[in-house]
Structure 1
Amino acid sequence: MAAPGETIVSRSRLGRAGWVTFGCGAVGLGALGIVVPGLPTTGFFVLAAWAFSRSSPRLEQWVLDRPGVGPLVRDYRAGLGMPRRAKVVAITMLVVSCGLSAALGVDRPAVRLAIVTLGAVGVAWILWRVPTRETVLARRRPPS
Structure 2
Amino acid sequence: MLQNLIKYTLFTVACCATLLGLLGVILPLLPATPFFILALFGFSKSSPRFQQWLLNLPAVGDDLKHWQAHKKINKQRKPIIYLSIVISFLISILLLIGQLFLQLMLVVIMLILLLFIKKLPES
Q: TM-score, normalised by structure 1?
A: 0.63
The unaligned stretches of length 5 or more in structure 1 are 1-11, 134-144
Structure 2 residue aligned with 1:137: none
8 Å CA contact retained: 2:31, 2:84: no
Give per-residue Cα distances to partners, 1:33-73, cap 9 Å, x unaligned. 22345433222222223333334333211111112211121
**Root-mean-square deviation (CA), in Å?**
2.9
Equivalenced residue count is 120
1:42 to 33, 44, 61: 33
Q: Which has the higher contact order (CA 8 A, sep 6+)?
A: 2
Q: Which has the larger radius of gyration?
A: 1
8 Å CA contact retained: 2:96, 2:102: no
Rounded Cα–Cα distance in structure 2 between residues aligned with 1:119 and 1:16: 26
Do structure 1's residue 90 and structure 2's residue 55 form an aligned pair? no
8 Å CA contact retained: 1:46, 1:73: yes
Q: Describe the shift of the 1:71–1:106 C-alpha distance in structure 2 as closer, same or farther (beyond 3 A).
A: same
- Higher helix proportion: 2
Q: TM-score, normalised by structure 2?
A: 0.71
Structure 2 residue aligned with 1:120: 111
Rounded Cα–Cα distance in structure 2 between residues aligned with 1:31 and 1:125: 20
SS of 1:84 mapped into structure 2: coil
Cα deviation for residue 108 of structure 1 reads: 4.4
8 Å CA contact retained: 1:27, 1:44: yes
Structure 2 residue aligned with 1:26: 17
Identity of aligned residues (%): 31
1:101 to 60, 84, 92: 92
